[in-house]
Amino acid sequence: MNERDAKDVLLARAIDTAGAFGVTAAVRDACSSEAARTCNLPDEPSKPDIERFIVRRTDRLLAKAGTEASAIDRLRALQIPSWMFPALMLAAFIAGMTSHALGDAKRINLLLAPLLAILAWNAVMYVVLALRRFLPHGTIASSVATWHWRRSIGTQPCTLNDACKAWFTHAAPLIDARASVALHSAAIALTMGAITGMYVRGLGLEYLAGWESTFLDEHGVQRILSLALSAGSLITSIEIGDAGRIATLRFRDGAGGAPAGPWIHLYAATATMLVIIPRLLLAALARMRVRALAERSPISLDDPYIRQMLRQVSKKTSRISVIPVALNMDAGLRQALQAALEESLGGRIELTIEATVSYGESMRTSNHDRVLVFAAAATPEPEVHGALIDATKPVAVVIDETALRQRFGADQTMAHRIEERRNTWRALVASAHLTPVFIAAALP
């Protein structure tokens, strides 16, 4: 499953879960059946079989939804404009070329050379990259990509915003890798532009290199230049000199300075060693990561949405572990649960009722798909119920309304209380990309 396939699946999941854009239960079942038939899905499908089925079903579902909202087709075709990378490189190179304000006096101030600022900035970036695992990253790139996506959505319903959030959560490593390629390449282009600018200006004019400062003396300047240009001095054998030599370069009363050629070579060699070559290596590594992530961008086959799709077309009986949370499962409730799950999940289902779990109790492992059953009378809390859903990753979340209906069902004026509680549960369960199933045992 490549990048585009993964994006389509997450978009389809948001639409499918919300039942938006004309995607009804009948449409979902038809898309699943047609995809299974077209792919000749076996009873024991392999991972490639499952991925082909998912992609084919997603294409059918999005084609149906696209007839209801043109934004869906725009989102599917959305990608980084092909001109953006060359434009960024050209802009960086021009910025480097024009960064030298040498002035009419034809003097280069060694402390204000643009390449010195570029070297300092890259040193900071290398430290940031070294500490990257401890720092948030990809924020700017993800923000720009999110803005680009949402601009294409326009005023469409929030379902597409949910798809946007899911995609950028899934694609964060890929977005980060692409941003790394662009930023490393831009740093190379900026540095090459600055080097080219120095040599182009030096071809037609003779410049003097020196320095002037209100706060530094020759000893401070010598330490700065020795630190910044040591790599260039090592490979060019051009000496920076001691403090006495640096003192003769000081611009004062129209005097001072020396021919700038050796200093230009020093700066160019240092920038090549410390900026261009390391950034080329980093860009190459980031590019390899982009290629790997783009060609193989899988959606977890353990995702409840994927498991539910497979169950709808499977001819086998699915074994599902039912985990009641702070409630008891009697025969009437079990019968209602069986009927509701077969309708919502599809296929034949064999239920195994696990022991009741108390709030805060750790979960037991299970080899089967799980269903959590909560009591509707309980107030849904993200820290308790939401955390349990996140830890369990159930194929369905079931809400037992038996107690609420016994209390309010006969009073029609209190029916809104049941609906309010349903909406609260829907909001909590939606974070797991699931729609809660509401059941109730037959009342006497």
Q: How far apart, in Å, are the Cα atoms of 282 and each of 229, 242, 266, 287?
A: 22, 35, 24, 9
Q: Which two tokens stand for residue 30?
A: 């038809």
Q: Is 197 exposed, middle or buried (0-12, 13-18, 19+ CB in 10 A)?
A: buried
Please tell me the predicted confidence (pLDDT) of residue 102: 44
**Residue 373, beta-bridge partner list:** 324, 398
pLDDT for res 229: 94
Q: For residues 394 and 385, what is the distance between their CA atoms, to the nearest angstrom?
A: 12
Helix H, strand E, coil C: the string for 203-253 is: HHCCCEEEECCCCCCHHHHHHHHHHHHHHHHHHHCCCCCCHHHHHHCECEC
Q: Looking at residue 145, what is its pLDDT?
A: 65
326 φ, ψ (degrees, to nearest 5): 60, 40
* pLDDT for res 227: 93
Distant-in-sequence, close-in-space partners of 390: CB < 8 Å, separation ≥ 6: 432
The answer to whether the beta carbons of residues 197 and 97 sit under 8 Å apart is yes
Q: Give the model's pLDDT for residue 141.
A: 60
CA dist 400 and 337 (Å) reads: 9
Q: Which residues, 6+ apart, have CB-to-CB distance to 338 below 8 Å?
A: 349, 351
Residue among 28, 2, 58, 16 at smallest CA distance from 162: 16
Token look-up 């003779």 returns 206
Residues 6+ apart with CB under 8 A from 143: none
Q: What residues of the chain score a pLDDT lower than 50? A: 102-104
Q: Which of 221, 227, 265 is nearest to 243 (CA)?
A: 221
40: number of Cβ within 10 Å: 10
- What's the pLDDT at 103? 46
**The pairing of beta strand 107-109 with beta strand 348-353:** unpaired
Q: What is the bridge-based pairing of β-strands 437-439 and 396-400?
A: parallel
The DSSP code for 303 is S
Asked whether the CA dihedral 90, 93, 99, 103 is positive or negative, the reply is negative
Question: Which helix (H) or strand (E) covers residue 259, if one does?
Answer: strand 258-259
Contact 153, 75 (CB under 8 A): yes
Q: So what's the pLDDT on residue 48?
A: 84
The CA distance from 263 to 209, in Å, is 7
How many other C-beta atoms can be found within 10 angstroms of the C-beta atom of residue 1?
Answer: 21
- Segment (H or E) for 180: helix 172-204
- Angle value at C-alpha 301, between 299 and 302, nearest 5 degrees: 115
Query: Cα–chain-centroid distance for residue 362?
Result: 30
Instruction: Assign residue 426 a region (left: φ > 0; alpha: ψ between -120 and 50; beta: otherwise).
Output: alpha
Per DSSP, 385 falls in state: I
Q: Give the span between the Cα atoms of 80 and 94, in whole angstroms.
A: 22
Alpha-carbon distance of 91 to 97, in angstroms, equals 10
- Report pLDDT for 66: 73
Report the C-alpha dihedral over residues 28, 29, 30, 36, rounded to 10 degrees.
110
Structural domains in the chain?
A: 84-295 (no CATH), 316-444 (3.40.50)
